[in-house]
Chains A and B, each alone.
Chain A
């Protein structure tokens, strides 16, 4: 049996597996005390001659990005800061690419880089996961709206409004604390501005440097109100590495006092009076939030996950209903339609089976809005994408069913004076559908798991909710168990229902 959905599953499964694996390693690492004294990381850096810093090159301007004419070079204020920092430490800098949301777990577990320089905020949550240096940048929250917007003047006006934020950032947490806006979670800091422009969002709440770059030369957007809730970006260092942390703190202090940072930030238009305050910064008594297992806090997290599971369920149900109905039309068109329609149906099936689901989601959500002005909501786009994609698979399932009905059935129907259409509806389809039912229910369960891919269009379903909470708490294992439990329970229930349906129809058949 051929499953066009396989690429998506393949994409998803290793992702989840990787997370689980990391979580298990982490659990083992913290559970078992290391008997050997750790080598000093600063000594490693010095003898190696390089400071390896982790970041995600998809971070975007002004942090880290490719200049327009050179896809191989990276620039950005953090790229230059990292280089200056390494120079000050007497070593070279080496950039290591890592997914942004996995930077801190990777810093703790994988050892493929020494520090993280990625716009990480100096918050109690992050202090619980790593040691944070003195700040190298002051940022604030900035609200962005469409040009001409008069109703939203500050974050106090966000009640009931659709507001885009970057997943697991200070903006995200701020809106969650405030609890009045309708939060839409994005993975990158480009697409929410696009959705704001086309009207899917009412506002975007983001870090001031991102807002500054995005507003520059874009007449369709404007800032609403002044920046607020200042925060600090700091370098993350593995918790026990006090020596390396002290070296980095010293280096940052020097870069501030000798004007190196000012020069770098000025180049990106980011220097201002607020950055001056970095020079006089003193650590306050900031308490690291103690990490504890999300399993202990299950009463908090399970309802969150279950709410997200509701999204997973309706997206899957909607997608499957569309796939089942549209797929049937395609199968009949391909098998019995006049030649042009037959070709069209075949072309549809081959195209939708032969291209990745992810691409189709982007096309339907962003592509249609951009080119045709067709602004589908994220939920509708998700259902459409899943449904249109799976319809191709279902069409082939039905066709297999139709081909499996003996030829004599059509002949007997025709001999009784039935028109072809009546014979198809009354005699062939009821038999063919019974034959295809096991494949169709199988696909339903596959789609249930595939549906996590719709998180790329700011729809928070179960897997995305898991990611957000896991980044927040650092408990990939506990939350992973809860999430897996929900997935398993739901798909098991779906299997049982499918089995029951199959048995009933089989019984009818005898």
Chain B
């Protein structure tokens, strides 16, 4: 489903991604953990082309971006249509209600009839436990509720994979559980997810495979129990020691 080959990215002289490669199968949930500034968020942003690649290739489903060839805007857009994105800071559209946030892209990007999408959107809101918040503005919702709307908004486009950039980091600890709960169920339903987080609880709950990111590359990867409970790489031990 996702293939990344030798991805590199620098900001000025600082090399953020140092030849990252990844193979992810459909319905697989992969979680990236690692210290702040290790490049894991940049990696995610490269995947849906919010950042350009310096070198390497990214393929999601049937769309490939190759840094050695000119990248067309339309190709980027096709890639984004296949990869939904959930941001740490939610980035809901403040001038629209929860329901309108979800309807916006299906209606104005895919050109689907509003009535048809509305039924799906209400269904999505129910799935994230916010059926009664459809007509609330983002400013009238808690952080956890906003993030759940943001997840519903991304799912409304029926992406092949969902990219999540620290989805629980901006939330108070007591609000994290409601988002974890939604993501656990999505993973159980077989959604392909690529998730970047500091939240080890979340990682353990949803991951089929966990990878530790350090210094712009993956240093160790394995099943949640292997990696979290029996880490082999010193960097992994160091990171878990600090976090625990």
Contact = CB atoms under 8 A, between A and B. Distances in A.
B137 A510 contact: yes
Given A414-B50, A418-B109, A422-B109, 10 more contacts: A406-B91, A412-B93, A417-B77, A417-B109, A418-B108, A422-B108, A426-B104, A427-B104, A431-B95, A434-B95
Interface string B63-92: 000000000010001001100110101011
Contact of A510 (B50, B84, B87, B140): B140
17 contacts: A408-B91, A412-B85, A412-B87, A412-B91, A412-B92, A412-B93, A415-B84, A415-B87, A416-B84, A416-B105, A416-B157, A417-B77, A417-B105, A422-B108, A430-B95, A508-B137, A510-B139
B48 interface: yes
Contacts of B105: 416-418
A427 B109 CA distance: 12
B214 interface: no
Contacts of B92: 412
Among the interface residues A417, A426, A430, A509, which one has the most CB atoms of the partner chain B within 10 A? Answer: A417
B129 interface: no
A408 B87 contact: yes
A377 interface: no
A109 interface: no
B228 to A, nearest CB: 29
Contacts of A427: 93, 104
A424 to B, nearest CB: 12
A417 B48 CA distance: 10
Interface string A477-510: 0000000000000000000000000000000111
Q: Is the interface of A mostly helix, strand, loop or mixed?
A: helix
B94 interface: yes
Contacts of B48: 415
A509 B94 CA distance: 6
Contact of A409 (B77, B93, B108, B109): B93
Contacts of B110: 417
A434 to B, nearest CB: 7
Query: A-B pairs with the 7 shortest C-beta distances?
Result: A412-B91, A415-B85, A416-B105, A408-B91, A417-B81, A417-B109, A510-B139
A417 B139 contact: no
A177 interface: no
Contacts of A510: 137, 139-140
Contacts of B137: 508-510
A38 interface: no
A122 to B, nearest CB: 69
B147 to A, nearest CB: 13
Interface string B98-138: 00000011001110000000000000000000000000010
A413 B77 CA distance: 11
A412 B94 CA distance: 12
Nearest to B137: A510
B153 interface: yes
A411 interface: yes
A419 interface: yes
Given A417-B77, A417-B157, A422-B109, A509 B91 contact: no
B51 to A, nearest CB: 10
Interface string A431-469: 100100000000000000000000000000000000000
Contacts of A413: 93
Contacts of B73: 419
A417 B94 CA distance: 19
Contacts of A408: 87, 89, 91
A434 B84 CA distance: 28
A412 B140 CA distance: 20
Interface string A198-228: 0000000000000000000000000000000
Interface in B1-59: 48, 50
A415 B108 contact: no
A14 to B, nearest CB: 43
Contacts of B95: 430-431, 434, 508-509
Nearest to B79: A417
A416 B50 contact: no
Nearest to A407: B91
Contacts of B153: 416
Contact of A411 (B50, B108, B109, B154): B50
B89 A431 contact: no
A416 to B, nearest CB: 4
A436 to B, nearest CB: 14
B158 to A, nearest CB: 11
A416 B109 CA distance: 8
Nearest to A434: B95
Given A422-B109, A431-B95, A509-B95, A415 B80 contact: yes
Contact of A417 (B80, B87, B93): B80
Contacts of A509: 94-95, 137, 139
A416 B104 contact: yes
A12 to B, nearest CB: 38
Interface string A38-73: 000000000000000000000000000000000000
